[in-house]
Structure 1
Amino acid sequence: MSRTYEQLIPRPLRDPFEKALGTDAGYLLDFSDRTFSDFFFEALGIDTSISNLFDGRGTSKAKRLRSFIERAPVAVVAKALRDLWEYRESLSWPSVGVRDNYFAVVGIFEGASDHIDSSAFEAFEPSQTLDELIAAIRRDLDAKKPQAGLDRLHTYCMKRFASLVRKHGGGECDRRRHLH
């Protein structure tokens, strides 16, 4: 079961967070319906008119944002909140007394991600050993055990650096010829 907006953001942080975004009476910053949609499309590539992320609480911009916070992946919520703050700063609204609480809420979402992106690990040269190493790193990350993959990550990095040295004319790297 997913958590509600009220469960995700504790009351002591929620009130200052909402104050920072000007969500009283259903508003959100200075957005009109059109600029609200434009913001989410430009910042995140999300079309608010077809996405069900905004449908759960009502039609005001504040309620649509609360629905988005409940339904969107936490990494997307964190990015949206950072982008909203950036937009807020462009309005020259005062930040005194609201910034720390606002970013405490952003921190909730940035720290909540349970997904570890392993797409950066790629075979940079043909090698069965390298393929097995990458598969082992991904297995550890998918099992939510990144600490188990640290030694393998070190090996991957050393192989990658050696590959880059060779690629740029630096010759072979081995135990006699160190990377540094």
Structure 2
Amino acid sequence: MAEWFEETFGIDVFQDRFQAKGTSKGNTLRGFVEVAEPRLVAQVLRGLWAYRCSREGCTEPDPKREAELKSWINKFTSELEQASALSLEESFRDFSGDTTLPKLRASIAADLIAENPEVAIDRVQTYCVKRFRTLLAERGVKSDPKAPLHALFGAYGKALKDEGAVSEYALPTLRVQHKLYEGLNSARNNRSFAHDNDLLEVSEAQFIVDTVLASLAFIERIEAARRPTQL
């Protein structure tokens, strides 16, 4: 079981956080289902179902019963995906014709769903650079190709202020977000796979990613409200 989880999903399934109900294989699996990111649980359950169906003598002899079980697993995994707390679609958008963007978004999603935020940090930073460059270009604001992420966000935040796109109550939050993107840029350069670095602790990387996700989702809501006035 440990080998299957490691080889198929890169997961140490017998880590302590999955064993609150006990250390047996059944209890460990139950703990994993309760604790892990729902989309990851859905992927694992589909993988386990496929493995089970590939084993001789493991399927139900009654075709009707087998169909009922298949229907249940499909329904349950679909519900898990809908229950995910990750706001990936709200934060990471397909905003241009850049052919690398779908692959970048898919790679970020795969690592975040697999609960590897420390691995995703460098690509999250790359996405943010692309997004803010595009948002500035849409406003006719030129950006230095060598400008760091936080400088791009600073220029974007100034554009929002000049447009009156955010209220006086949100402006202080934008100033705080400038430091957020400066921190993300530093983490990417010094604590990610972008270079030969020691990775961030998972909890720290998750905190940074969660905060960036919330910021990007807010920005996308601002941009969505702005578009009708451009028609």
TM-score, structure 2 as length reference: 0.40
Name the structure with the higher helix share. 2
The structure that has the greater radius of gyration is: 1
